[in-house]
Amino acid sequence: MTMTNKIIFSGIQPTGQLTLGNYLGALKNWNKIQDDGKCIYSIADQHAITVFQDPKSLKNATLELSAGIIASGIDTNKHILFNQSGNPNHSELGWYFNCIARMGWLNRMTQFKEKSGKNSEKSSVGLFTYPNLQSADILAYHATHVPVGEDQKQHLELCRDIAQKFNHDYGVDFFPIIEPIINEQGGRIMSLKDSNKKMSKSDPSDNSRINLTDSKELIVKKFKKATSDAHLLPSSKKELEGRPEASNLISIYALLQDKTVESVLKEIGGLGWGDFKNKLADVAVEKISPISDEINRLMKDKGEIENILNKGVIKSREISQPIIDKTKQIIGFI
Ligand code: TYM
């Protein structure tokens, strides 16, 4: 397959604010691969309502997330940015995939277990079946490549299983078997407060994450308060082993500057935490503030963001409709 044959799809939920984890794990890659093929990026608002969302907040989060995606460099003249609920083909194909995926497959999804916690009986049915809708998001476009963070890996394996079972059951070679694109470095940015937990927009502690809309002062403060350990910064990968706080902050520092961890270790090895955190905060402010300024600018003209999404919805329907029509024909619907 040539580079330009790639159809790239990914999505983000409009719940809470965009975090540095979303940026380094997903958005930065979305941006990087723009010249490799056709990109279709979706605000996964139908996924968001698997947990109740206040309608006003959902609308605002959808616009702000769209602004964040545009501000981080996605060219919406060349590529498609749209809100999932604008294209009913996703939920239609999602239903067909509910009939393909097996209960056992979904029972194994770790994200459902984490999100539903001890009280899975009280979770919405949508939260359980959501990976089927995610597979439909991707396969409604016959996408071939999906750039995501590490936490989505299991959902993408399910997408491959669904495509394979559909093709097998109906004796067709119709849905592609997708390739996940997960950066080894940056695929899993951890919380600033607990390096065993991923950085998440739903963590109750705002100090656990950097939001792309945080002010310069707040970014500096959050890095200063980030959990560290009792040793000087390491100068080799060997010394970095078993030091999760240092690994996480060094990764962030490296990724923000497109440097390798090795070169960063040479630069900062032997520094105390105070000095390193100052350097990290400086780099973060330098990279994040232009994005946050652009988000603020875009949010002043919400009509413009809505236009971009509406245009994206129309294009998304154009691509997915023939695929849904063919799917129905394969299934045997009149
Ligand atoms: P969501 O909204 O939780 O996250 C959006 C993207 O950000 C990545 N990410 C991270 N990467 C590194 N470190 C972190 N701490 C971190 N936190 C989040 C996620 O891996 C993801 O790539 N179900 C999806 C959205 C979705 C989707 C899709 C993705 C809907 N349809 C189709 C791919 C294809 C979700 O909840 O992502």
CATH of the domain at 89: 3.40.50.620
Q: Does residue 1 lie in a domain region? A: no
Tokens 């002043």 found at: 300
pLDDT exceeds 90 at position 276: yes
Residues 227 and 90 reside in one and the same domain: no
Please say if 201 is a catalytic residue: yes
Cα-Cα-Cα-Cα torsion 18, 207, 116, 111, nearest 10 degrees, comes to: 60
Residues 293 and 311 reside in one and the same domain: no
Looking at residues 288-317, what average pLDDT do you find? 96
- pLDDT classification of 63: cutoffs 50, 70, 90: very high
d(CA 256, CA 28): 9
* 151 token code pair: 């936490």
* 34 token code pair: 């723009």
Percent of the chain with pLDDT over 70: 99
Q: Is 320 in the pocket of ligand 1 (CB under 6 A)?
A: no
How many domains would you assign to the chain?
Answer: 2
* 137 token code pair: 């998001």
DSSP state of 24: I
pLDDT in tens, 189-212: 999 999 999 999 989 999 999 999
Judge contact between 19 and 201, C-beta under 8 A. Answer: yes
Q: Is 208 in the pocket of ligand 1 (CB under 6 A)?
A: no
Q: Does residue 201 lie in a domain region? A: no
Looking at residues 145-150, what average pLDDT do you find? 96
Atom of ligand 1 nearest to the CA of 13: 2
Looking at residues 157-162, what average pLDDT do you find? 98
Q: Does residue 194 lie in a domain region? A: no
Tokens 């105070």 found at: 274
* 167 token code pair: 């093709």
Residues 32 and 148 reside in one and the same domain: yes
* Mean pLDDT estimate for the chain: 96
Atom of ligand 1 nearest to the CA of 9: 34
Q: Does residue 10 lie in a domain region? A: yes
Residues 144 and 231 reside in one and the same domain: no
Cα-Cα-Cα-Cα torsion 80, 83, 84, 88, nearest 10 degrees, comes to: -90
Q: Does residue 195 lie in a domain region? A: no
Looking at residues 135-157, what average pLDDT do you find? 97
Residues 43 and 66 reside in one and the same domain: yes
Residues 14 and 73 reside in one and the same domain: yes
The boundaries of the domain holding residue 265 are: 206-297
Please say if 225 is a catalytic residue: no
- pLDDT classification of 4: cutoffs 50, 70, 90: low
pLDDT exceeds 70 at position 62: yes
* Residue of 6, 32, 59, 115 marked catalytic: 115
pLDDT exceeds 60 at position 2: no
Residues 177 and 310 reside in one and the same domain: yes
- How far does the centroid of ligand 1 lie from the alpha carbon of residue 102, in Å? 23
Residues 143 and 267 reside in one and the same domain: no
Q: Does residue 193 lie in a domain region? A: no
Residues 177 and 240 reside in one and the same domain: no
Looking at residues 124-149, what average pLDDT do you find? 97
pTM over 0.85: yes
H helices present in the chain, as ranges? 20-22, 28-32, 45-48, 55-71, 89-98, 103-107, 110-116, 125-139, 153-170, 216-225, 237-240, 244-256, 261-268, 273-299, 302-331
Q: Does residue 45 lie in a domain region? A: yes
Q: Does residue 130 lie in a domain region? A: yes
Please say if 113 is a catalytic residue: no
> What is the sign, positive or negative, of the torsion defined by CA atoms of 226, 229, 233, 237?
negative
* Amino acid present at 190: M
Atom of ligand 1 nearest to the CA of 44: 30
Residues forming a β-bridge with 224 = none
Tokens 């060219």 found at: 75
Note the pLDDT of residue 187. 85
Residues 230 and 140 reside in one and the same domain: no
Minimum mean pLDDT among 3-7, 98-102, 154-158, 165-169: which range?
3-7
* Residue of 193, 201, 222, 277 marked catalytic: 201
pLDDT exceeds 70 at position 3: no
Looking at residues 52-71, what average pLDDT do you find? 97
- pLDDT classification of 16: cutoffs 50, 70, 90: confident
d(CA 280, CA 148): 24
pLDDT exceeds 90 at position 177: yes
* Residue of 28, 38, 198, 222 marked catalytic: 198
Note the pLDDT of residue 1. 44
Looking at residues 215-235, what average pLDDT do you find? 97
Note the pLDDT of residue 117. 87
Residues 176 and 292 reside in one and the same domain: no
Looking at residues 159-182, what average pLDDT do you find? 98
- pLDDT classification of 217: cutoffs 50, 70, 90: very high
Looking at residues 49-68, what average pLDDT do you find? 97
> What separation in angstroms does the CA of 107 have from each of 26, 49, 88, 103, 268?
26, 20, 26, 6, 44
pLDDT exceeds 70 at position 242: yes
Q: Is 28 in the pocket of ligand 1 (CB under 6 A)?
A: no
Note the pLDDT of residue 119. 83
Q: Which residue's C-alpha comes closest to atom 16 of ligand 1?
A: 21
Strand order of the β-sheet with 145-147 is: 80-83, 37-43, 6-12, 145-147, 179-181
- Phi/psi for 153 (5° steps) reads -55, -45
Task: State the CATH number of the domain containing residue 248.
Answer: 1.10.240.10
> What separation in angstroms does the CA of 334 have from each of 181, 182, 326?
37, 40, 11
Residues 213 and 148 reside in one and the same domain: no
Atom of ligand 1 nearest to the CA of 148: 22
Residues forming a β-bridge with 6 = 37
